[in-house]
Amino acid sequence: MSSKINGQVSPHSCSHLLQFRRRNGPDSFRALQDCLRVKPPGGRASIRRDPAEVPCCQACGESGSNRLYACVTCAAVSCHAPQLTSHAAAHAQSMSPGHEIAVDVDRAELFCCECRDQVYDQGFDAAFVLAQNTATTTTGSTLMQYSAEPGNLRKRRRVDYRHWSPDSRECVTMTNLSTPLYDSTNSSDVPWGLRGLNNLGNTCFMNSVLQALLHTPLLRNYFLSDRHNRYHCQQKNVANNDGKNGRLCLACDVDAMFSAVFSGDRTPYSPAKFLYSWWQHAANLASYEQQDAHEFFISMLHRIHEKEEKDQGKPHSQGSGDCCIAHRVFSGILRSDVMCMACGFTSTTYDPCIDFPLDLEPNRGGSAKSSSTKSHNSCNVEAERISLNKDCSISTLKGCLERFTRPERLGSDQKFFCQKCQVRQECLKQMSIRKLPLVSCFHIKRFEHSSIRKMSRKVDGHLQFPFSLDMAPYLSSSILRSRFGHRIFPFDGDEQDAPNDLSSEFELFAVVTHTGRLDAGHYVTYLRFSNQWYKCDDAWITQVSENIVRAAQGYMMFYVQKMLCYRASEK
Partner 1 sequence: MELQDLQESVNIKMIQSGEKERLKDLLRERLAECGWEDEMRALCRGFMRNKVTNSVKLDDLINEITPKGKETVPDNVKAELLQRIRSFIAYAV
Beta partners for 442? Answer: 356, 557
Binding mask 15-54 for partner 1 (x = CB under 8 A): ------------------------x-xx---------x-x
Query: Burial level of 450, CB count in 10 A (0-12/13-18/19+)?
Result: exposed
In the complex, the smallest distance separating the C-beta of residue 422 from partner 1, rounded to whole angstroms, is 36
- Per CB under 5 A, the segment of 39-47, 250-258, 399-407, 441-449 that binds Zn ion is 250-258
Q: Provide the CA 418 distance to its chain's centre, in angstroms.
A: 27
Which residues from 62-101 bind Zn ion, rule CB under 5 A? 62, 71, 73-74, 76, 79, 87, 99
Helices (H) and strands (E) in the chain, counts: 18, 27
Nearer to partner 1, 7 or 42 (CB): 42
**Active-site residue (options: 14, 302, 522, 565):** 522
Q: What is the DSSP string of 15-31?
A: HHHHHHHHHH-TTTTHH
Which residues from 499-518 bind partner 1, rule CB under 8 A? none
Question: Identity (one letter) of the amino acid at 314?
Answer: K
In the complex, the smallest distance separating the C-beta of residue 152 from partner 1, rounded to whole angstroms, is 7
Phi/psi at 300 (5° precision):
-65, -45
6: left (phi over 0), alpha (psi -120 to 50) or beta: left
Nearer to Zn ion, 323 or 431 (CB): 323
Terminal alpha carbon distance of the chain = 55
C-alpha torsion 179→184→190→192, nearest 10? 30
Rg (CA), the chain: 29
- Per CB under 8 A, the segment of 109-117, 202-210, 366-374, 393-401 that binds partner 1 is 109-117
Q: Is 323 a catalytic residue?
A: no
Nearer to partner 1, 52 or 283 (CB): 52
Among 21, 49, 116, 266, the residue binding partner 1 under the rule CB under 8 A is: 116
What 3-state class would DSSP assign to 486? coil
Cβ atoms within 10 Å of 363's Cβ, excluding its own: 13
Partner whose binding site includes residue 340, from Zn ion, partner 1, none (CB under 5 to 8 Å by kind): Zn ion
Among 345, 484, 533, 534, the residue binding Zn ion under the rule CB under 5 A is: 345
Does the protein bind partner 1 through residue 63 (CB under 8 A)? yes
What's the angle, vertex CA 166, arms to CA 163 and CA 167, rounded to 5? 120
In the complex, the smallest distance separating the C-beta of residue 139 from partner 1, rounded to whole angstroms, is 15
Question: Identity (one letter) of the amino acid at 54?
Answer: V
Non-local CB neighbours of 252 within 8 Å, separated by 6+ positions: 228, 230, 233, 234
Q: Which of 492, 360, 493, 430 minimizes the C-alpha distance to 43?
A: 430
In the complex, the smallest distance separating the C-beta of residue 250 from Zn ion, rounded to whole angstroms, is 8
Partner whose binding site includes residue 177, from Zn ion, partner 1, none (CB under 5 to 8 Å by kind): none
Nearer to Zn ion, 16 or 458 (CB): 16
**Active-site residue (options: 204, 323, 340, 427):** 204
Phi/psi at 512 (5° precision):
-95, 125
Which residues from 141-200 bind partner 1, rule CB under 8 A? 150-155
Beta partners for 444? Answer: 358
Among 111, 205, 489, 533, the residue binding partner 1 under the rule CB under 8 A is: 111
In the complex, the smallest distance separating the C-beta of residue 100 from Zn ion, rounded to whole angstroms, is 5
Question: Identity (one letter) of the amino acid at 551?
Answer: A
**Pair 68, 104: CB distance under 8 Å:** yes
The kind and range of the H/E element at 230 are helix 230-239
In whole angstroms, what is the distance from residue 171 CA to residue 450 CA? 60
Nearer to Zn ion, 297 or 345 (CB): 345
**Pair 101, 20: CB distance under 8 Å:** yes
Nearer to Zn ion, 57 or 126 (CB): 57
What 3-state class would DSSP assign to 250? helix
Which residues from 115-154 bind Zn ion, rule CB under 5 A? 115
In whole angstroms, what is the distance from residue 216 CA to residue 300 CA? 15
Q: What is the DSSP string of 65-114?
A: SSEEEEETTT--EEEE-TTS-BHHHHHHHHT-SS--EEEETTTTEEEETT
Does the protein bind partner 1 through residue 59 (CB under 8 A)? no
Q: Is 79 a catalytic residue?
A: no
In the complex, the smallest distance separating the C-beta of residue 375 from Zn ion, rounded to whole angstroms, is 41
Does the protein bind partner 1 through residue 1 (CB under 8 A)? no
Which residues from 37-66 bind Zn ion, rule CB under 5 A? 57, 59-60, 62
In the complex, the smallest distance separating the C-beta of residue 502 from partner 1, rounded to whole angstroms, is 13
Binding mask 216-235 for Zn ion (x = CB under 5 A): -----------------x--
Which residues from 323-342 bind Zn ion, rule CB under 5 A? 323-324, 327, 340, 342
Which sequence positions are flagged as catalytic? 204, 522
Q: Residue numbers of the site for Zn ion (CB under 5 A)?
A: 14, 16, 57, 59-60, 62, 71, 73-74, 76, 79, 87, 99, 112, 114-115, 233, 249, 251-252, 305, 316, 323-324, 327, 340, 342-343, 345, 418, 420-421
Question: Which residues sit at the interface with partner 1, rule CB under 8 A?
Answer: 39, 41-42, 52, 54, 61, 63-64, 82-83, 111, 115-118, 150-155
